[in-house]
Amino acid sequence: MGWSDNTEMMSSDSHVKSSSGGECDCIKLSASQKIVAFGITFGIGFLMTIFGNIFLGKSSTTFIILYVLGTFMCIFSTIFIVGVRKQFKMMFAKTRLWATIVFLVAFILTIVIAFTTHSGGLTSIFLFVDSIALFWYCISYIPFARDAILGCIKACFACCF
């Protein structure tokens, strides 16, 4: 689900091909190196957004700087997997449309609320929604990652339903 259209790009070749058939403008890495680079970049970005929570209610500017930079690092991380042009084309693909929309709306609302209301609690709610949507969006670039996560969640909560 969502990965069948990019599976060929995750081959063990030392580079990926763009949809136009030429090499994409990303760094030439093996498939495993791309996954590692994605994970490290996404992890640092995610930690920056979480670290920004320390400044909620104290410094809206510091929070927004960490939040925006961290979010952009998370988005940038997917470029290691598919390349710049392809990533932007795929943002609104059927498999990630809702994650993209929820992410963009929550991202904007988080910034607006942080600057206008200075409410740490309300900003945290939108930050949480944004982080989950961003995570779900980013893992859609790794084959079968969403299926694996859903399987784990179902297994963990099987006793409850």
First-residue to last-residue Cα distance in the chain: 24
pLDDT of residue 1: 43
Q: Which residues pair with 23 in a beta bridge?
A: 17
Can you tell me whether residue 63 is helix, strand or coil? helix
**8 A C-beta contact, residue 114 and residue 71:** no
Q: Which residues pair with 17 in a beta bridge?
A: 23
Mean pLDDT by 10 residues, the chain (161 residues): 42 40 58 90 89 80 88 86 83 86 89 83 84 83 85 85 64
> Cα(89)–Cα(127) distance, rounded to whole angstroms?
25
Reported pTM: 0.65
85 is written with which tokens?
Answer: 């042009």
pLDDT of residue 144: 87
pLDDT of residue 64: 87
Put residue 22 in one of left, alpha, beta given phi > 0 → left and psi -120 to 50 → alpha: beta
